[in-house]
Structure 1
Amino acid sequence: MRDVAIIGTGMTKFGELWDKSLHEIFVEAALKAIDDSGVERIDSMYIGNLSGGLFVGQEHLASLIPDYLGVCPIPATRVESACSSGALALKQAFLEVASGFSDIVLAGGVEKMTDVPTDVATYGLAAAADREY
């Protein structure tokens, strides 16, 4: 395995971001990370998201966000692992670089849970548990 380093970071404000879409939030943080890193290209990206489909009606983030970010065509993958979706995105990016498959991989997570009523957000979180247990 190769050595791996985090060479740039970016983050948006936390809270009720009513005026921003799911992809706008991810792109804002991604642009900050790209600027912080100084890189000129990205080989691939991982997008962590628990439930964009339920919370804001947006699925298939991996095919949309690279386009909004202006980095198409690159491979992109949406990963979902309940509350650790963003962490799983980082793990997958680490493994891709460590394996030598890619050199520069962007990873992050995004969610808009406050755009829905409490009962819908609670349902989305509860759905992460084993329904048959």
Structure 2
Amino acid sequence: MAAEITTFVHSEEDLNQAIKISNALFSGDIASLTAEEIEQGFKDVPTIQATKEDAKLVDWLVESGIEPSKRQSREDISNGAIYLNGERCQDLEKVISSSDRIEDKYLIIRKGKKKYFLIQY
């Protein structure tokens, strides 16, 4: 019924896009989304403008305000609570680089089970 209402109010294309975005979020396959789908699916998620090109993840999480301290950042990374574009990252030496971006524009960070951040370059 929800699909029928969405199709009626919006369009079949919007319904298919919403389903694709939802499936990517639940499966962790965020890297398969296009920039347009990310903009649509993450419009209500806190957005952070990236200020550095390459930086260590531990430092970068603190500088961007996602983590309150380097200690907490290291702890969350070690415990597997940090995800980059849907992939768990437990490497304390990880450097965020242009190869991590989706369509060279976005990086999606998840902290814990439900807290998402959209990083815009």
Does the pair score TM above 0.5?
no
Identify which of structures 1 and 2 has the higher relative contact order when contacts are C-alpha pairs closer than 8 Å and 6+ apart. 1
- Taking structure 2 as the reference length, the TM-score comes to 0.30
- Taking structure 1 as the reference length, the TM-score comes to 0.28
